[in-house]
Amino acid sequence: MTMSPRLRKLVLTMHITASVGWIGADAGFLALAVAGLTSPEAQLVRATYLAMGLIAWFVIIPLSLASLLTGLVLSLGTKWGLFRHYWVLVKFLIASFATTVLLVHTQPIGLLAGAAAETTLSSADLREPRLQLVVAAGAGLLVLLVNTTLAVYKPRGLTPYGWRKQQEQRKVSQP
Amino acid sequence: MADPVSDHPHPESDTDAGVKSERRSPPSTPRWVKVFAIIVLALVVLLVILHLTGRGFGGHAPSGGYTPPSIVIAYIVQQL
């Protein structure tokens, strides 16, 4: 099924907005995670994890799901297809992986946000999940930048499935 | 995922390495895909080693259990 140009542009606008927004939100999340890990001020640390809890649940997770969904619709609704070109497939796998890792990390985010809401965290408290969030946010940002690069450069390469489909279409167009 | 708005040639014209003749076998996997796969594999091996040697970040269920975001929202509302 191929989308009409108007619908394709609408979905593309949504996809770019969600994907770029995800990168920006992740960068902000990383800044907060570093501040939460390194700051000696208890009040700042507390505010940081409360903000991170909100950003994760109400900005990053919705944006990541929107990016994944609109990307899926775009690939399946255009001639690019999801399994025809390596760059589309790799980008989809990266986005799926990043979303899964994000959902797995809602647990330490929830733990820290909950602890910050109830008590004052000292620099020694919950060191492991705090470090985990810095690493996860940094790795997430790197992975999202790789995806953006793939989307812009679109490196060549047909998958065996894409090649077969191309051959079939050639046979149909050249009887 | 797929961003069809660009100066990239039409998707159907992608013939891998510019070979336009009718090939009988699928094109080989591009180099960038192989490099990417090697990097991913190396990172997975590194993560497994870190977890096995106990130098990783441990599990994802630290003591204290899971706290839903509603607690955070309740706290912020309480402070207003």
Complex-level ipTM: 0.73
Low-confidence ranges of chain A (pLDDT < 70): 1, 120-125, 175
Say what the pLDDT of residue A170 is: 85
**More confident call, B63 vs B22:** B22
B17: pLDDT strictly greater than 50:
no
Interface check B1 vs A, CB under 8 A: yes
| Alpha helical stretches, state H, B18-68 | 31-52
B64: pLDDT strictly greater than 60:
no
**More confident call, B32 vs B23:** B32
Mean pLDDT over the full length of chain B:
65
Mean per-residue pLDDT, B7-36: 66
Say what the pLDDT of residue B73 is: 61
Domain range enclosing A90: 5-173
B59: pLDDT strictly greater than 80:
no
Q: Which of A18, A51, A13, A14 is nearest to A32 (CA)?
A: A51
Say what the pLDDT of residue B25 is: 80
Separation CA A132–CA A129 (nearest Å): 5
Say what the pLDDT of residue A64 is: 95
CA angle B59, A68, A158 (to 5 degrees): 105
Do B64 and A108 make contact, defined as CB atoms within 8 angstroms?
no
Say what the pLDDT of residue B75 is: 62
Cβ pair A74, B1 in contact under 8 A: yes
Do B26 and A158 make contact, defined as CB atoms within 8 angstroms?
yes
Interface check B59 vs A, CB under 8 A: no
Token digits of residue A170 = 């050639």
Say what the pLDDT of residue A46 is: 84
Separation CA B53–CA A121 (nearest Å): 29
Say what the pLDDT of residue B66 is: 44
pTM (two decimals): 0.78
Number of domains in chain A: 1
Nearest to A158 among B2, B16, B61 (CB): B16
Say what the pLDDT of residue A101 is: 85
Do B26 and A115 make contact, defined as CB atoms within 8 angstroms?
no
B10: pLDDT strictly greater than 70:
no
Say what the pLDDT of residue A67 is: 96
B5: pLDDT strictly greater than 60:
no
| Alpha helical stretches, state H, A39-105 | 42-55, 61-76, 86-104
Interface check B54 vs A, CB under 8 A: no
> Residue type at A37?
L
Question: For residues A74-84, b (16+ Cβ closer than 10 Å) or e, as one string?
Answer: bbbbbebbbeb
